[in-house]
Amino acid sequence: MSKQVTVEELAANLDAHLDDVKRGETIVVVDGDNEIASIEPPKRKGLKIIRHDPALQLQDFKPGAPPKRMEAQGADWLIEERERERSGKKYGNDTANEDRDKR
């Protein structure tokens, strides 16, 4: 849906016309018989609106089961990975060191 307004009418009632644009209407600005501009709402591709159920409250939240305990800590894994990278044994083979030693 669109409507035409003059420059003077747009200037005098800018807030009202911008409210129309927010509701999805396109405004075509004319000067005499010439269209000089159009104001359109932004195009929103793939926008998914998620409605909040007002009956839900934070105190009603029930968390799921806690994650299983890991045998090793994340920092330990990171340290081991970096040591393997530095030694050239990142992928379980020692070809990087052998090639380097041959030179």
**CA 97 to the chain's CA centroid:** 44
Does residue 52 belong to any structural domain of this protein? no
Does residue 83 belong to any structural domain of this protein? yes
pTM, two decimal places: 0.42
Whether the predicted pLDDT of 93 surpasses 70: no
Which residue range(s) make up the domain with 77? 70-102
Give whole-number Cα distances, 80 to 77, 85, 95, 100, in Å.
5, 9, 18, 21
**Domains contained in the chain, number:** 2
Residue 89 makes CB contacts below 8 A (sequence gap 6+) with: 96, 97
First-to-last CA distance in the chain? 75
Q: Give the pLDDT score at 98.
A: 54
Does residue 98 belong to any structural domain of this protein? yes
Q: Give the pLDDT score at 47.
A: 67
Does residue 85 belong to any structural domain of this protein? yes
Does residue 82 belong to any structural domain of this protein? yes
30-63 pLDDT, tens digit per residue, is 998 899 999 998 877 766 767 777 777 777 778 8
Does residue 76 belong to any structural domain of this protein? yes
**CA 101 to the chain's CA centroid:** 49
